[in-house]
């Protein structure tokens, strides 16, 4: 495992445009690029030539699915919309746990030529402020299975109900 200063697409994948060329031969192709998981206990923000940025601080690790390399860092950049969700969760908690995968999709119509698709893996209550409310609701009723023909029996051995098809 490589120890690095921060985790972001550039640190994990290298030049993303080159990886897109290698992994996505045509427009619309998508590949699973990397996963990140960790525990965040703070946020660091700033401004660069590319605009404002937000990095989560704590203990994080990442796996590059193209090369198999793994990384660890005390700082992590998370793509939107997950970044905003986790930022809100961290505002309400001292620490949050997260785990997600990033897919890269080739998009010839975009200036960068690609977009990130984030797939969260941790259904943590901290990352889903509606989870506690959702869990208060009763589960939806099971679908009634009426009008379904019982075909478990054979002509020699009748079905459990003793008859086939709908009863009258």
Span 25-66, pLDDT tens digits = 999 999 899 999 988 999 998 888 878 888 999 999 999 998
> Residue 137 falls within a domain, yes or no?
no
Q: Say what the pTM is.
A: 0.66
Q: Is the pLDDT of residue 108 over 50?
A: yes
Does residue 145 lie within any of the structural domains?
no
Domain total in the chain: 1
- Model confidence pLDDT, tens digit, residues 113-146: 999 998 888 654 445 556 666 777 776 666 555 4
Q: Provide the residue range defining the domain that includes 14.
A: 2-130
Asked whether residue 154 is domain-assigned, the answer is: no
The pLDDT mean for the chain works out to 80
In a domain, 139, yes or no: no
Distance, in Å, from the CA atom of 39 to the CA atom of 96, rounded to the nearest integer, reads 6
CA of 12: how far to CAs of 5, 41, 63, 68, in Å? 11, 22, 8, 10
Buried b (16+ CB within 10 A) or exposed e, 122-133: eebebbeeeeee
Q: Do residues 115 and 46 touch, judged by C-beta distance below 8 A?
A: no
pLDDT at 124: 46
28 part of a folded domain: yes
Closest of 122, 28, 110 to residue 78, by C-alpha: 122
| Position 143 in a domain | no
Q: Is residue 45 part of a domain?
A: yes
Alpha helices in 58-167 (DSSP H): 82-92, 131-136
């Amino acid at each position: 495992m490589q120890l690095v200063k921060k985790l972001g697409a550039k640190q994990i994948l290298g030049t993303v445009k080159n990886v897109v060329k290698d992994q996505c031969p045509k427009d619309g192709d998508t590949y699973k690029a990397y996963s990140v998981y960790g525990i965040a206990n703070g946020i660091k923000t700033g401004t660069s030539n590319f605009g404002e940025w937000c990095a989560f601080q704590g203990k994080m690790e990442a796996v590059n699915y193209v090369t198999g390399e793994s990384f660890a860092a005390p700082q992590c950049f998370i793509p939107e919309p997950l970044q905003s969700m986790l930022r809100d969760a961290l505002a309400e908690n001292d620490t949050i746990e997260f785990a997600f995968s990033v897919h890269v999709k080739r998009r010839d119509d975009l200036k960068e030529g690609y977009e990130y698709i984030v797939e969260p893996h941790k259904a943590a209550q901290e990352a889903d402020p509606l989870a506690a409310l959702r869990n208060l609701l009763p589960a939806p009723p099971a679908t009634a299975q009426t009008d379904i023909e019982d075909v478990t029996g054979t002509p020699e051995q009748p079905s459990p109900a003793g008859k086939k098809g709908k009863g009258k």
